[in-house]
């Protein structure tokens, strides 16, 4: 079975997050991690973006790559925060362009409480954000498990 080393970057506004939802989703291969359903996955790195505008994005992937990371996941917090991270589209281009690593937007399924709020606020409108939430937009039963 193919082994993939991943790194997770979390939004700095959640810097005290212990990663429980991300780690549970990785273990269960839910949300964006469903793409690894038939693969052996190792979490090899976990860090924050460094705060707006994401200064750590310039350097953290280099360290990750040295440790064998090939796939960088931006945590679901980038998508569900208020407002969603305005720099994601840039990060999604920068990391593959500079480091040749694959970028995936999202980790665990979007919790129902965030889905409800963003639906009411219409903050997930537009081509980029609609594409960005696709891998983490689970059914309501799954979203409720991540509340």
Domain boundaries, given as residue ranges, for the chain: 3-145
d(CA 22, CA 10): 10
Q: Dump pLDDT digits (tens) for 105-123.
A: 999 999 999 999 999 999 9
64 has pLDDT over 80: yes
Mean pLDDT score, 53-64: 96
**pLDDT value, residue 136:** 98
Return the CATH fold of 3-145.
Rossmann fold (3.40.50)
Residue 71: left (phi > 0), alpha (psi -120 to 50), or beta?
beta
pTM score, whole prediction: 0.95
Structural contact between residues 146 and 109, judged by C-beta atoms closer than 8 angstroms: yes
- Mean confidence (pLDDT) of the chain: 96
């Amino acid at each position: 079975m193919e082994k993939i080393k991943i790194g997770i970057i979390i939004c700095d506004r959640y810097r005290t997050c212990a990663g429980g939802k991300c780690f549970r989703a990785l273990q269960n291969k839910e949300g964006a991690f469903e793409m690894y359903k038939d693969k052996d996955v190792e979490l090899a790195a976990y860090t924050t973006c460094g705060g707006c505008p994401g200064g750590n994005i310039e350097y953290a992937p280099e360290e990750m790559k040295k440790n064998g990371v090939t796939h960088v996941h931006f945590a679901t917090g980038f998508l569900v925060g208020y407002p969603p991270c305005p720099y994601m589209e840039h990060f999604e281009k920068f990391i593959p362009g500079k480091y040749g690593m694959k970028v995936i937007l999202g980790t665990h399924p979007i919790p129902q409480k965030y889905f409800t709020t963003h639906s009411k606020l219409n903050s997930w409108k537009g081509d980029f954000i609609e594409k960005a939430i696709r891998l983490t937009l689970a059914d309501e039963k799954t979203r409720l498990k991540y509340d």
